[in-house]
Amino acid sequence: MKLGFFTACLPSWTLEQVAGYAVAQGYQCLEVAAWPVQPGRDFEAPHLPVATWSGADREATLALLERTGLEISSLGYYENNLIGDPGRREEIRAHVKACIDAAQSLSVPYVGTFIGRDPAKSVVDNMAEAERIFPELVDYAGERGVKLMIENCVMEGWHPDGYPGNIAYSPELWEWMTSALGLYLNWDPSHLAWIGIDPVETILPFAASIVHVQAKDVELSAAQRNRYGFYGAVQKGDNPWHTGWWRYRVPGRGSVDWLRVVDRLYEAGFTGTVSVEHEDPMWGGTPEKVTEGLRIAYGTLRPLIGDVNV
């Protein structure tokens, strides 16, 4: 098991800058953000130019990894593959394929994305649509030695009423997406905790499907939930992600029991990367605060991850 972090939390830095920090802090892997250039969209860093990928890009990236001793655990492009706009959907599909191509050229085993959802349709109808479009992407990845994995983020901000905007939020849906679609799981306990599921109890049943782990914590307020209810605040202002009763935190500053999580991952035979996904507002806003948040996360997780897999 190795410890890394998702580079999307440092969108203003180059990949070389991110790698320099990672080595200095002691991280072993990078889950590299691979969005296209989209100014003003936080947490969507274009740390690898996959849309225009060239032999020179490949050689430069491999040289950086050789120089630093880091590994790339995954390329991440988390977008709505079921978005209702046909033109936008095609753009997303093409970029997922570009990520897969770049991953193949770098021998990176995984590309992460979302299933997503068309909020105008029911979950069941979206499942049928996913069964129509995802097999081609899964086959495209498989032919290139890459596995396509889905983060179990609820993505409630994609739905106008705060309902799930990514139909991969529960073990019931994981059973469907792994069997019917051939997808794998980038498992994140924070999303499970706030929807009332014990994260630890989901690990062993899905041991064969969990190929990558995103380490993010969540802080819950029972008092505020008594005001807003489970689905969160109705009046969100200009922030569709405002819930009013929970917020993401770096590992060790929320409710997730990381000792139990890591221990259960070992029990499940997990030998992949635990990748910190830093979306903690307490430690955000500037690169200095973000890197301090990553330091805190490292201090929480590194003592739990042994140097030898059991």
Give residue 37's pLDDT band: very low, low, confident or very high (50, 70, 90). Answer: confident
Contact 304, 257 (CB under 8 A): no
Per-residue buried b or exposed e for 48-69, using 16+ beta carbons within 10 Å of the residue's own CB = bbbbebeeebeeebeebeeeee
More confident residue, 310 or 293: 293
CA distance linking residue 125 with residue 278, whole number of Å: 33
Cβ contact 191:169 at 8 Å? yes
Mean pLDDT along residues 132-146: 98
Q: Which two tokens stand for residue 165?
A: 């905007």
Sign of CA dihedral 80, 86, 90, 93: positive
- 239, 120, 182, 107 alpha-carbon torsion, rounded to 10°: -40
Question: 3-state DSSP call for residue 2?
Answer: strand
Mean pLDDT of 1-15: 97
Instruction: Answer yes or no: is pLDDT of 308 > 90.
Output: no
Structure token digits, residue 16: 């070389």
SS3 138: helix
DSSP type of residue 37: P
Q: What is the mean pLDDT of the chain?
A: 96
Q: Is the pLDDT of residue 309 over 70?
A: no
Beta bridge partners of 29: 4, 71
H/E run at residue 273: strand 273-276
Rounded Cα–Cα distance for residues 108 and 31 (Å): 10
Say what the pLDDT of residue 93 is.
98
Q: Are 252 and 276 in contact (CB under 8 A)?
A: no
Helices vs strands, H then E, count in the chain: 9, 10
Which CATH number covers residue 272? 3.20.20.150
- 107 is a domain residue: yes
What is the domain extent for residue 145? Answer: 2-304
Q: By the 8 A CB rule, do 155 and 191 touch?
A: no
Kindly report, residue by residue over 213-267, the tens digit of the pLDDT. 999 999 999 999 999 999 899 999 889 889 999 999 999 999 999 999 999 999 9
Tens digit of each residue's pLDDT (9 = 90 or more) over 39-52 = 766 668 999 999 99
In a domain, 73, yes or no: yes
Least confident of 113-117, 151-155, 228-232: 228-232
Kindly give the pairing relationship between strand 246-249 and strand 217-220.
antiparallel
Confidence band of 59 (pLDDT split at 50, 70, 90): very high
Residue 310, pLDDT score: 43
Residue 209 identity:
S
Question: What's the structural domain count of the chain?
Answer: 1
Let me know if residue 310 belongs to a domain.
no
Q: What average pLDDT does the segment 301-307 reach?
A: 91
Mean pLDDT of 158-180: 96
pLDDT band at 307 (very low <50, low <70, confident <90, very high): confident
Three-state SS for 210? strand
Tell me the percentage of the chain whose pLDDT exceeds 70.
Answer: 97
Question: 97 Cβ partners below 8 Å, 6+ apart?
Answer: 137, 140
Q: What is the pLDDT of residue 43?
A: 67
Find tokens 């983060």 and name the residue: 151
In a domain, 309, yes or no: no
Please count the CA atoms within 13 angstroms of the CA of 132 that sit on its side-chain side: 8
Q: How high is the pLDDT of residue 305?
A: 94
